């Protein structure tokens, strides 16, 4: 049986995307300082993302200039918020945003990418190998199933475009120990989602710390105040009566 984090997809040939003149300066404004190698890796990743998108549904954003802004810079808005040597789990990784650009920018951080769709998981695993991101692990599983065996195992949970907060908090909370942090990339409706999520926040002992504006949206920062309640035991269906 193949390991879930082993590359199993042949990546398409794709020359790196041309880097916008202001990309590094804009990244630095967000608190992400990239050297030449990191910028080149990001350009290669974005090219692979767009090339593979022709074969599978990875992104609706296909204009190169918008890809740099809406994918790379969007992801890098989280870079200064990650603690040194953190253990990060990224839920519903899809095409790799925010996890892959973050792994490029923060090689000190260990990333576990969770993606249940097999083709997308294979793409992510192959991209991580092609870019030499040794600190990236891929888990081809559903978040709820993985949380059952990884309770409190990560310092940070990240996610973008996965679900509204009321649905996302119950998925994320089990992965965090006390004082673990959620960093969720959201749009302009983040305040509305926070109101909707009040019951989920209280149930899972998670508090809203702050919402940070970014050039492309907002980052909702949540903190786990204590271990979430254990999941209810699986209900066994009653066995049919034996015939005599």
For residues 215-242, give the mean pLDDT: 68
The pLDDT tens digits of the residues spanning 110-154 come to: 999 999 999 999 999 999 999 999 999 999 999 999 999 999 999
Cβ atoms of residues 48 and 11 within 8 Å: yes
Structure tokens at 90: 């990224």
Helices 118-130, 36-53: inter-axial angle, 10-degree rounding:
150
Average per-residue pLDDT in the chain?
A: 90
CA 177 – CA 192 distance, rounded (Å): 27
pTM for the whole structure:
0.89
φ, ψ of residue 189 in degrees (nearest 5): -90, 15
CA 59 – CA 75 distance, rounded (Å): 14
Q: Which of 105, 95, 119, 109 is nearest to 47 (CA)?
A: 95
Residues 6+ apart with CB under 8 A from 125: 4, 5, 6, 7, 8, 9, 138
In the chain, where the domains are located:
74-224
Alpha helices by DSSP H, the chain: 23-30, 36-53, 64-67, 74-76, 99-105, 118-130, 143-147, 165-172, 190-196, 198-203
Q: Which of 216, 217, 219 is nearest to 69 (CA)?
A: 216
Across the beta sheet with 110-114, the strand order is 136-139, 110-114, 87-91, 156-160, 181-186, 217-224, 206-214
Among 159-163, 220-224, 240-244, where is mean pLDDT lowest?
240-244
Given 3.90.550.10, 3.40.50.620, 3.40.50.150, 3.30.1330.40, which CATH number is that of 74-224? 3.40.50.150
Q: Which of 91, 88, 111 is nearest to 100 (CA)?
A: 111
pLDDT at 8: 58
The pLDDT tens digits of the residues spanning 78-110 come to: 999 999 999 999 999 999 999 999 999 999 999
């Amino acid at each position: 049986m193949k390991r879930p984090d082993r590359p199993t997809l042949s990546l398409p040939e794709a020359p790196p995307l041309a880097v916008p003149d202001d990309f590094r300066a804009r990244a630095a404004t967000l608190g992400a300082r990239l050297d030449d190698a990191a910028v080149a890796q990001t350009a290669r990743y974005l090219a692979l993302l767009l090339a593979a998108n022709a074969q599978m549904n990875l992104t609706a954003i296909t204009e190169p200039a918008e890809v740099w802004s809406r994918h790379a810079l969007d992801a890098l808005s989280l870079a200064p918020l990650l603690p040194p040597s953190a253990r990060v789990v990224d839920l519903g990784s899809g095409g790799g945003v925010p996890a892959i650009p973050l792994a490029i920018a923060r090689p000190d951080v260990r990333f576990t990418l969770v993606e249940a769709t097999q083709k997308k998981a294979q793409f992510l695993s192959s991209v991580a190998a092609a870019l030499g991101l040794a600190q990236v692990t891929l888990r081809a599983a559903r978040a709820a199933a993985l949380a059952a065996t990884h309770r409190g195992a990560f310092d940070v949970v990240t996610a973008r475009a996965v679900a509204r907060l009321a649905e996302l908090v119950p998925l994320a909370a089990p992965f965090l120990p006390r004082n673990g942090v959620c960093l969720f990339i959201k749009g302009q409706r983040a305040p509305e989602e926070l109101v909707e999520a009040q019951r989920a926040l209280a149930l899972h002992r998670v508090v809203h710390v702050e919402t940070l504006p970014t050039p492309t949206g907002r980052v909702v920062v949540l903190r786990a105040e204590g271990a979430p309640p254990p999941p209810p035991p699986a209900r066994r269906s009653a066995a049919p009566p034996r015939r005599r």
